[in-house]
Structure 1
Amino acid sequence: MRSKTIRVAVSALAVGTVGVLLAGCGAGDSPAEGEFTVTMAALQPAPSFDPAVINNGPLYNYAASAYETLVFPEADGTLTPGIATEWEYIDNTTLTMDIRDDVVFVDGTGLDADLVVANIERYRTTPGPYQSRMNSIDTVTAVDEDSIEFILNTPDLSLPQAFSLTPGMMVSQAAIDDPSILQSETAGSGPWMLDEYIDGSEYTYVRNPEYSGPLDVEPDVLRYVVITDLTAQLNALLAGDVDITVAQWTQRETAEQQGMAAVGGESNVGGLWLMDREGEVVPALGDVRVRQAINHAIDRESLGEALWSTFQRPTAQVFGTSTNAYDESLDDYYEYDPDRARELLAEAGYADGFDLPILSRTTFGDSARLEATLPFLQEVGINATIVDRTNDYYDAMAAKEFAAAQSQQNGVTDAYVGASNLLVANSQVNPFGVTDPELDALMADAAAELDADAAAEKWQAVSAWVVENAWFAPISYYHTHNLYNPETLAGVELSAGQTVALPFTWVRP
């Protein structure tokens, strides 16, 4: 049963048109007797329906709704069977995996081990946010119809966790043969499938009659309505036009005062990504003393509190408390010390400062954070400016147009995953491909360690190296929040590593 699609080119949903698009089928209403429909406000339209290009965050539900993963992540982060019924490390470089024999895609075709292999090979060769997570795979082969074997080029005990995200989402053979299909329709075996959409504005998913997986989901219809402004999202929730939204901490307080419910938790680290660590575009950033000066210039305590109130934790490290790389002592490694920042700039030959255009975007509050950060940099003589590239943020990053970016990282629940997302040469946020032999050796040593306590110590050494060499200038680990109407949704959970509540957790009133 192939999903029905309607493709109409329109601009992103304007605030004033929310009521028009939702007219006739309000949030919580049922299009047919007995159906449970949930409408969620989405910050961004779907770039496509190809899971290979979708990251954790506001885009994730476009893929998670329609595709099963090899490994399923429970809300607490526990990994349970999905398409894979079991998996086992024979040793630290050999992983075997058995797959279900009842998987059926929306086009009526089935899944076997060869198709799983083809999917994983596609993730290995398709540029996207998780391509670097496949770096540890040397070969993946089908042992028989329902089992596969991975031979790794380096120990990587986190692969099952990677396969609980988009790299574990399997698409049909038709989509493997012609990936352009995924520009206009879903091709998965998940609980729901795309039914219709107005491109850039509204997306409707319905139950997939072919779904045979282990999940017992409740919503019959999912509707994602694009509202790119958080204030407009809150207004839509309070008006009853949507059932669930993402929010900032100030909006959470407002919504709870008006009877709405909220879930949230520490999930994101936000700040400056100092990407040009060899000085290719901005020579000054090639000097570690300059990057350290930037870190000393930022008052994390006051800036974090102004941006996120008590829903944050100032930090100088990019690994969070949910990973074994977290080291509490690194949170305050760089004291706020403008004088020390000026001294380091002078030692590096930049006593008179330098120009630093910083890539930013209006989504996720990045530009607002950067506007609050700039005065600290300017105080020590760095002429930092904002360049808004909301519409082609990652393209501008990949093209190496900017030495630094205002950014945030979410969903890191494993040190190896965090390193793959942030540090390796082909990670999306390392566009200059900067590597260092000492860091590479530290990461390889940590990844190969099988003893949990020893592995934690080694991953903390990785984090310490990154902090000392100032590859980033984080501000805080901050909370993300989801608001929902308790009259139309009885329960919502924010799963570990996610910033947007997944539809698997939505419960009928």
Structure 2
Amino acid sequence: MRRIALTAVSAALMLSAAACGSGSGSGSGKAATGGTLTLAPLVAAQPWDLADAGLGNNAQYYQPVYDSLFRLSPTAEVEPNLATKWSYDAARTVLTLTLRSGVKFTDGTALDAAAVKTNLLHTKGGTSEAAGQLAGISGVDVVSATEVKIRLSAPDPSLVPNLGNVAGMIASPKAIAAGTIKNTPVGSGPYSLDKSATTAGSTYTFVRNPGYWNKAAFPFDKIVLKPLTDPTAVLNALRSGQVNGALLASAKSITPAKSSGLTVTKFTSGDVEGVYIWDRAGKIVKALGDVRVRQALNYAFDRDTIVKTAKQGLGKATTQIFNPAGAAFDSSLNSTYSYDPAKAKQLLAEAGYPNGFSVTVPDVSSVFPDQQAAMVQQLEDIGIKVKVDKIPVTQFISALLAGKYPLSYMTLASFRPWDTIQIEVGKSTLWNPLHTEDSKVTDLIDKARSATGATQDALFKQLNTYLVDQAWNAPWDSVEAVYATTKGVTFTPQTFAAVPPIYNFKPAG
């Protein structure tokens, strides 16, 4: 699933791995400076056009080629990158950036303020997750070749850090204008796509950009991306040295990974998994339009047992979609829905569904068999009949975004509170595919947008409390991710990230 935002199921229905060879790219599992780093994202590559770009696991496809306006530290602090200075006006609706001079795209075009303007407006015009993070931009003014002013329709509490991720990546305006960017990425980043060593859907090879301004931050001469969606295939690739770093989507892979001599690192990914209720207005399944039914779903799930068994302890039970590290999170809300099938059945009866109802969900068993089994069994335990639609994994994300299913298992990214709101709460956000609207939700969002400090934090908590009470979703847990690496490579986990960015990988030693 893509972590949304996706990493989208935004962020997690598919899998991310890293592989490294020697300096000659032998695939021995040992890396030296100048060698090859191979990553196997959990998700298939999206188009190279940043207007179509997702977040989470998708970011690794874009990071080799496209540089971003800011760089995020491992603790998600904003640092200079293409933009060297930045400041807001008093109203926080105009952001002024000073750009690094002398940077060029690999097609020779200058990376200047005009290029930044072209990119921000182009990406904003898209329909995917990166576009959603730029939705508040009302205009971009070119002041000089190295100065640009970004105008906002209202304050955006997360704009600056988001410009350090995919939303702030800059592609060649020449390639955008020609329309070739969808098939061939052209950026100013540390690498460029080697099309002769690339096979769409299976292998993406990136070689050094000799003109990159910050080569020292990227020690590998080559980056290779090999998407893998099967947990067994990922483990086998790690063991054989075909890849030397991978996100272990199945907790069952941890013990064999350790026994094979792999280094296993646990970290908080910022994802929240569980059952996401897309049809809160009852457009597909009428019953879901009743808050009592949605609350019944929340009482149906034994979160602690799911974490213990399906996740083998990798997560912390929660009823909230907001990241535990963020200001919106309230630990007291986690006691709102205890595991109580009898209470769930009572609520269904009160809502007029004493015999339950039927619901169709997309199949995720090829990647998350334990989670799907838990979802189906515990829904059926309260009388809800579940039909599993056996769609291909490659169609999962597009089907959800098209509003085909009333609910599903899903993992979505939860970063800063405002990011979560932009990803899945607002009426027009990407992961609100059936465009649920609630006047109180809208009012709290509008108030939080313009507030700052403690006042804003309090509004985030009010919104979170309301969403839990209204049972907008049925979250299970805040995800603890597990990343396995071979002896040849080390990495630093990244706060608010499903997988480490490529610039956090180094050759061991």
TM-score, L = length of structure 1: 0.90
What one-letter code is carried by the residue in structure 2 that aligns with 1:413?
F
SS of the residue corresponding to residue 392 of structure 1 reads helix
Secondary structure of 1:321 counterpart: coil
Question: Structure 1, residues 76-104: CA drift from partner, whole Å, max 9, x if none?
Answer: 11110111111111122222111112221
Aligned position for 1:394: 397
TM alignment of 1:142-221, pairs within 5 A: 142-183=142-183, 185-195=184-194, 196-213=197-214, 216-221=217-222
Mapped partners of 2:422, 2:313: distance in 1? 30
What is the Cα deviation at residue 360 of structure 1? 4.0
Do 1:57 and 1:500's aligned partners in 2 also have CA atoms closer than 8 Å?
A: yes
Which of 350, 371, 374 does residue 372 from structure 1 map onto?
374
Shift of 1:189: 0.8
Task: Pick the aligned partner of 1:404 from 384, 403, 407.
Answer: 407
> Alpha carbons of 1:181 and 1:150: their partners in 2 closer, same or farther (altered >3 Å)?
closer
- Deviation, 1:465, is 1.0
Q: Deviation string for 1:457-506 (max 9, x for gaps)?
A: 211111111111111111111211211112x11x2112112222222112
TM-superposed CA distance for 1:29, in Å, is 6.5
Q: Name structure 2 gaps, 5 residues minimum.
A: 1-18
Of 133-142 and 372-381, more deviation after overlay is shown by: 133-142
Q: What is the number of equivalent residue pairs in this alignment?
A: 480
The whole-number CA distance in structure 2 between the counterparts of 1:232 and 1:477 is 26
Distance in 1 separating the partners of 2:347 and 2:446: 31
For residues 341 and 224 of structure 1, what CA distance do their matches in structure 2 show? 45
1:3 is matched with none
1:133–1:420 CA contact under 8 A, matched in 2: yes
Aligned residue type for 1:417: D
What is the correspondence of 1:319-398 to structure 2 with a 5 Å cutoff? Answer: 319-362=322-365, 365=368, 368-389=370-391, 390-398=393-401
1:56–1:499: 8 Å Cα contact kept in structure 2?
no
Are residues 331 and 215 of structure 1, via their aligned partners in 2, closer, same or farther at CA, if it must alter by over 3 Å?
A: farther
Aligned position for 1:61:
60
Q: Partner residue of 2:101? A: 101
Cα-to-partner distance string for 1:387-429 (whole Å, 9 max, x where unaligned): 233222232223322111221112x321101100011122222
1:419 correspondence with 2:421: yes
Deviation at 1:314, TM superposition (A): 0.5
Q: SS at the partner of 1:308?
A: coil
2:262 match: 260
The match for 1:458 is 459
Partner-residue secondary structure (3-state), 2:335: coil
Q: CA deviation at 1:370?
A: 2.1
Is the CA contact 1:27–1:38 (under 8 Å) kept in the aligned structure 2?
A: no
Q: Matches of 2:309 and 2:29 in 1, distance apart?
A: 35
Contact 2:427–2:437 (CA under 8 A) maintained in structure 1:
yes
Q: Do the aligned residues in 2 keep the contact of 1:130 with 1:421 (CA within 8 Å)?
A: no
The 1:448–1:238 alpha-carbon spacing in structure 2 relative to 1, beyond 3 Å, is same
Paired residue type of 1:269 = V
CA–CA distance in 1 between the matches of 2:96 and 2:163?
Answer: 13
Preserved contact between residue 76 and residue 496 of structure 1 (Cα < 8 Å): yes
- Once residues 436 and 303 of structure 2 are traced to their aligned partners in structure 1, the CA distance between those partners, rounded to angstroms, is 26
Q: Report Cα offsets for 1:227-274 as digits up to 9, x if no partner.
A: 321111111211222211111333233222332112231222111111
The SS at the match of 1:426 is coil
Q: CA deviation at 1:436?
A: 1.1
- 1:354–1:383 Cα contact (<8 Å) kept: yes
Structure 2 partner of 1:131: 131
The alpha carbon displacement at 1:134 in A equals: 1.9
- Describe the shift of the 1:216–1:391 C-alpha distance in structure 2 as closer, same or farther (beyond 3 A): closer
Unaligned runs of at least 5 residues, structure 1 = 1-17
Question: What is the Cα deviation at residue 27 of structure 1?
Answer: 4.1
1:39-90 Cα shifts (integer Å, max 9, x gaps)? 2333343233233333333332110111111111111111101111111111
The aligned residue for residue 304 of structure 1 is: 307
Q: Matched residue of 1:346: which SS?
A: helix
The one-letter code sitting in structure 2 at the alignment partner of 1:421 is: I
Alpha carbons of structure 1 residues 55 and 476: separation in structure 2 relative to 1, 3 Å: same
State the one-letter code of the partner of 1:207: R
Q: CA RMSD in A?
A: 2.1
TM-score (norm 2): 0.90
Q: Is the 8 A contact 1:203 1:224 kept in 2?
A: yes
Q: Secondary structure at the match of 1:353?
A: coil
Does the CA contact (< 8 Å) of 2:299 and 2:337 recur in 1? yes
Q: Could you say if the C-alpha distance between residues 436 and 194 of structure 1 is closer, same or farther in structure 2, counting changes exceeding 3 Å?
A: same
Cα 1:360–1:130 change in 2 (3 A) is: farther
The CA deviation string for residues 317-361 of structure 1, in whole angstroms up to 9 with x for no partner, is 000112111111112211111111111111111112111112343
